[in-house]
Structure 1
Amino acid sequence: MMIPNWLHQRAKVSPELSALVGKEGQWTFRELYEASLGIAQQLHSFNIASGDRVALLSHSNEETVLFIHASWLLSVEVVFLNSRLTEDELEWQINDAEVEIVVVDDRVAQTPILDGVECLSYSTIRQAERKEFEVVELWEEDRTLSVMYTSGTTGVPKGVRQTAGNHTSSALASVLNLGLTDRDSWLCMMPLFHISGLSIIIRSVIYGMETRLYEKFDAKEAAAQITAGTVTAMSVVALTLDQIVRVIEEGNSKAHPTFRTMLVGGGPVPLDYLERAAECGLPILQTYGMTETSSQTATLGKVDAVRKLGSAGKPLFFNQIKIKGTDQAREVGEVLIKGPHVTPGYIGSQSNRSPLTGDGWLATGDAGYLDEEGYLFIVDRRADLIISGGENIYPAEIENVLLAHPAVREAGVCAKDDDQWGQVPVAFLISDQVSEQEILAYCAQHLARYKVPKEIRFVDQLPRNASNKLMRFELKKSL
Structure 2
Amino acid sequence: MQTQNWLLKQAATQPNHLAVDDGNTRLTFAQLRDYVAHIAGQLNHLAPGDKVGLLATNRLPGYLAALAIICSGRTVVWLNWRLASEELHRQIADSQLRCCLVADELWRPEMGTEFTSLSDLLAVDAAPATLAPSFASDQVASIMYTSGTTGKPKGVLQTFGNHFYSAVSSALNLGLTNQDEWLCVAPIFHISGFSIMMRGLIYGMTVRLVAKFRPAAIEQILATEPVTIMSVVPFMLKKLVGQRQQSGQKYRATFRCMLLGGGTLDRASLNQCRQLGIPVVQCYGMTETCSQVVALRSSDALAKIGSVGQPLFTTQLKLSADGEILLKTPALTPGYLNLPAKLPAKLVDGWYRTGDIGHLDQDGYLYIDGRADEMMISGGENIFPQEVEQVYLQYPGIRQLAVVGQPNAEWGEVPVAFVVSDQPLDQAALTAYGYQHLAHYKVPHRYIRVTTLPMNASGKIQRYLLRKQL
TM-score, normalised with respect to structure 2: 0.79
1:396-435 pair list within 5 angstroms: 416-418=418-420
Asked whether 1:220 is paired with 2:216, we answer yes
Q: Structure 1 residues 79, 415: closer, same or farther in 2, change over 3 A?
A: farther
**CA distance in 1 between partners of 2:115 and 2:82 (Å):** 18
Matched, 1:352 2:341: yes
What is the CA-CA distance between 1:251 and the residue it aligns to?
1.7
Q: Which of structure 1's runs of 4+ aligned residues deviate more than 6 A?
A: 385-388, 393-396, 412-415
1:102 aligns to 2:100 (yes or no): yes
Q: What is aligned with 2:356? A: 366
What is the alpha-carbon distance in structure 1 between the residues aligned to residue 62 and residue 183 of structure 2? 16
Correspondence 1:343 to 2:333 = yes
Q: What amino acid maps onto 1:68 in structure 2?
A: A
Query: Residues of 2 paired with 1:143 and 1:40: CA distance?
Result: 18
Deviations 1:277-303 (A, max 9, x none): 111111001000111110011011244
Inter-CA distance 53–111: structure 2 relative to 1 (3 Å threshold): farther
Number of the residue aligned with 2:3: 3
The 1:221–1:54 alpha-carbon spacing in structure 2 relative to 1, beyond 3 Å, is same
Match of 2:25 in 1: 25
Query: What is the identity, as a one-letter code, of the residue corresponding to 1:157?
Result: P
- Residues 314 and 245 of structure 1: CA distance in aligned 2, closer, same or farther (over 3 Å): same
Q: Deviations over 1:388-407 (max 9, x none)?
A: 9xxxx9999xxxxxxxxxxx
How far did residue 127 of structure 1 move? 1.2
Shift of 1:70: 0.6
Distance 1:154 1:179 in 2: 35
Deviations, residues 410-460 of structure 1 (Å, cap 9, x unaligned): xx998735469xxxxxxxxxxxxxxxxxxxxxx9xxxx9x869579756xx
Contact 1:151-1:394 within 8 A present in 2 as well: no
2:39 aligned with 1:39: yes
Answer whether contact 2:16 2:30 (CA < 8 A) is retained: yes
Larger displacement relative to structure 2 (130-139 or 71-80)? 130-139
Q: Structure 2 vs 1, CA of residues 395 and 118 (structure 1 numbering), >3 Å: closer, same or farther? A: farther
Q: Is contact 1:229-1:259 (8 Å) kept?
A: no
Question: Aligned partners of 2:415, 2:92: CA distance in 1, in Å?
Answer: 27
Picking from 285, 288, 295, the partner of 1:289 is 285
Distance 2:48 2:180 in 1: 35
Q: Retained in 2: the 8 A contact 1:336–1:364?
A: yes
Q: Distance in 1 between matches of 2:415 and 2:46?
A: 44
After the TM superposition, which residues 221-370 of structure 1 pair with which residues of structure 2 at under 5 Å, given as runs? 221-228=217-224, 230-325=226-321, 333-348=323-338, 350-354=339-343, 356-370=346-360
Please tell me whether residue 73 in structure 1 is matched to residue 86 in structure 2.
no
Q: Partner amino acid for 1:199?
A: S
My pick for the range that moved more, 208-217 or 303-312, is 303-312
Contact 1:146 1:161 in 2 (8 A): yes
Task: State whether structure 2 residue 109 is matched by structure 1 residue 119.
Answer: no
Measured after TM superposition, the shift of residue 364 of structure 1 is 1.1
Q: Which has the higher mean CA deviation after the structures are superposed, 25-34 or 178-187?
A: 178-187
Mean CA deviation greater in 378-387 or 268-277: 378-387
Going from structure 1 to structure 2, the CA distance change for 1:152 and 1:58 (only over 3 Å counts) comes to: closer
| Corresponding residue of 1:190 | 186
TM-superposed deviation, 1:182? 5.1
The answer to whether the 8 A contact 1:20-1:212 is kept is yes
Check conservation: 2:310, 2:366, Cα contact below 8 A.
yes
On the 8 A contact 2:266/2:305 being kept in 1, the answer is no
Once residues 101 and 229 of structure 1 are traced to their aligned partners in structure 2, the CA distance between those partners, rounded to angstroms, is: 37
Is the 8 Å Cα contact of residues 152 and 394 (structure 1) preserved in structure 2? Answer: no
Question: For the residues of structure 2 that align with 1:395 and 1:134, how far apart are their CA atoms?
Answer: 53
Match of 1:211 in 2: 207
Matched residue, 1:432: none
- The whole-number CA distance in structure 2 between the counterparts of 1:241 and 1:158 is 28
Q: TM-score, normalised by structure 1?
A: 0.78
Measure how far apart 1:180 and its partner are: 2.4
Give the aligned residue type for 1:94. I
How many pairs were matched up?
Answer: 406
Change beyond 3 A, Cα 1:321–1:109: same
1:156 equivalent in structure 2: 152
Query: In the alignment, is the contact (CA less than 8 A) between 2:38 and 2:129 conserved in 1?
Result: no
Counterpart in the other structure of 1:379: 369
Unpaired runs of at least 5, structure 1:
327-332, 397-411, 421-442, 459-479
- In structure 2, C-alpha distance between the alignment counterparts of 1:16 and 1:325, rounded to whole Å: 53
Is this contact kept in 2: 1:233–1:261, CA < 8 A?
yes
Please tell me whether the aligned partners of residues 155 and 395 of structure 1 are also in contact (alpha carbons under 8 angstroms).
no
Contact 2:178 2:206 in 1 (8 A): no
Is the CA contact 1:44–1:132 (under 8 Å) kept in the aligned structure 2? no
| CA distance in structure 2 between the aligned counterparts of 1:376 and 1:340, rounded to whole angstroms | 20
Aligned equivalents of 1:336 and 1:94: distance in 2? 31
Q: Give the CA deviation at 1:152.
A: 5.7
Distance 1:122 1:229, change over 3 A: closer
Within the alignment, does 1:57 sit opposite 2:55 as a pair?
yes
**Structure 1 residue 258: deviation in Å?**
2.0
Q: 1:339 deviation in Å?
A: 0.5
Aligned residue in 1 for 2:409: none
